[in-house]
Chain A
């Protein structure tokens, strides 16, 4: 019963480098989400996906790229990392678009950009 996992849990990188954060869920949930958590801002949605090969922008998508070739995976790529992208990143999944469907969260990835 792995649920939803994220890797790596911690990452330190340098400005300008490409970084990919992985998210994997074992429930075959249709919807997946990427959030970033910053002090004073709560959680802000970066990108989401309704199904394989269907993605859309959230509140703060600039500087990020996502893909969803398989239902269970939803990687988030920072093409050229900046210091402002230092944050804790959470992946979440949801069974469907129904109003009652809650989101299940992964443990997070703490990213530091030097």
Chain B
């Protein structure tokens, strides 16, 4: 069965600093992985997705993630944080046990950006 673990429920960085949000997955099949962002009082928005085409995936708003099979990780990074990046971030893996497109989400990481 697939699962996702996000390490750290809260991450705080200073504006301009590197952002690193950690995600580890467990999957018995080749995984399809996603990062979503949720701004306050809004729904989730796709940041990027890994679909086996390339291990380094670039997304919107300057974010990127690297798929590392040996580490079963898909960490999200951004070189320089902006105040507008403050939000909750969710890592998700597609449920490979069915063809329904169901996603299994991690518990989320709240990113705080300090001025």
Question: Interface segment, A60-68, A69-77, A103-111?
Answer: A103-111
Select one of A4, A35, A96, A105 contacting B101, CB under 8 A.
A96
Q: Does A84 contact B (CB under 8 A)?
A: no
Select one of B51, B100, B105 contacting A42, CB under 8 A.
B105
Residue contact A105 to B107, C-beta cutoff 8 Å: no
Q: Does B28 contact A (CB under 8 A)?
A: no
Residue contact A48 to B108, C-beta cutoff 8 Å: no
- A 74-114 contacts with B by CB, 8 A: 90, 92, 94, 96-108
Interface size on B, residues (CB 8 A): 23
- Given known contacts A102-B34, A102-B46, A107-B42, A43 and B101 CB-to-CB distance under 8 angstroms: no
Cα A40 to Cα B10 in complex, Å, equals: 11
Which of the listed residues A4, A102, A107, A108 has the most CB atoms from chain B within 10 Å of its own CB?
A: A102
Residue contact B90 to A94, C-beta cutoff 8 Å: no
Which residues in A have their C-beta under 8 angstroms from that of B108? 42
Cα A48 to Cα B98 in complex, Å, equals: 12
Which residues in A have their C-beta under 8 angstroms from that of B94? 99
Cα A102 to Cα B102 in complex, Å, equals: 10
For residue B22, give the distance in angstroms from its CB to the closest CB of chain A: 15
Cα A84 to Cα B114 in complex, Å, equals: 35
Which residues in B have their C-beta under 8 angstroms from that of A52? none
A-B CB contact pairs (8 Å), 26 listed:
A31-B100, A33-B102, A40-B9, A42-B90, A42-B105, A43-B44, A43-B90, A44-B105, A45-B103, A48-B100, A92-B44, A96-B101, A97-B100, A98-B101, A99-B94, A100-B51, A101-B101, A102-B34, A102-B46, A103-B44, A103-B103, A105-B44, A107-B42, A107-B43, A108-B41, A108-B42
In the A-B complex, list the 10 residue pairs whose CB atoms are closest, starting with the nearest: A105-B43, A105-B44, A42-B107, A43-B105, A42-B105, A97-B99, A107-B43, A94-B101, A99-B32, A100-B51
